[in-house]
């Protein structure tokens, strides 16, 4: 069984969300979910990660950071936090 984790990228910081709720629409993209940051703020999810139940917990690499796709799978030590983050970060010139 895979676990889904939800993350929000706010001002360059990544928060893992808890108390996830779905907005009731038929789609189940990350944007249809919202949850609370560790501070208790309710924010929309920007990324949804399928985290393997037996993760190898290897160190994150570019493949993880630059992952794309509707549902991203991760099994590295970041726990999904860095997964696909490359696509949400402004690229420094």
Residue 83 sits in the site that holds Zn ion (CB under 5 A): yes
Q: In terms of CB distance, is 42 or 89 closer to Zn ion?
A: 89
Q: Report the C-alpha gap between 83 and 63 in whole angstroms.
A: 9
Among 8, 48, 76, 85, binds Zn ion (CB under 5 A): 76
> Hey, what are 20's tokens?
């996830």
Strand 18-22, strand 13-16: pairing = unpaired
Ramachandran angles phi, psi of 16, nearest 5°? -85, 130
Q: In terms of CB distance, is 23 or 66 closer to Zn ion?
A: 66
- Please give the residue ranges that form the binding site for Zn ion (CB under 5 A): 60, 64, 74, 76, 78, 82-83
């Amino acid at each position: 069984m895979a676990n889904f984790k939800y993350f929000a990228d706010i001002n360059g910081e990544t928060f893992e969300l808890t108390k996830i709720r779905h907005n009731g629409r038929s789609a189940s993209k990350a944007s249809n979910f919202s949850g609370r940051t560790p501070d208790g703020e309710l924010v929309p999810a920007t990324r949804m990660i399928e985290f393997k139940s037996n993760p190898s917990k290897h160190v994150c690499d570019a493949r993880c950071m630059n992952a794309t796709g509707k549902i991203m799978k991760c099994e590295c030590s970041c726990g999904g936090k860095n997964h696909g983050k490359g696509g949400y970060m402004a690229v420094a010139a």
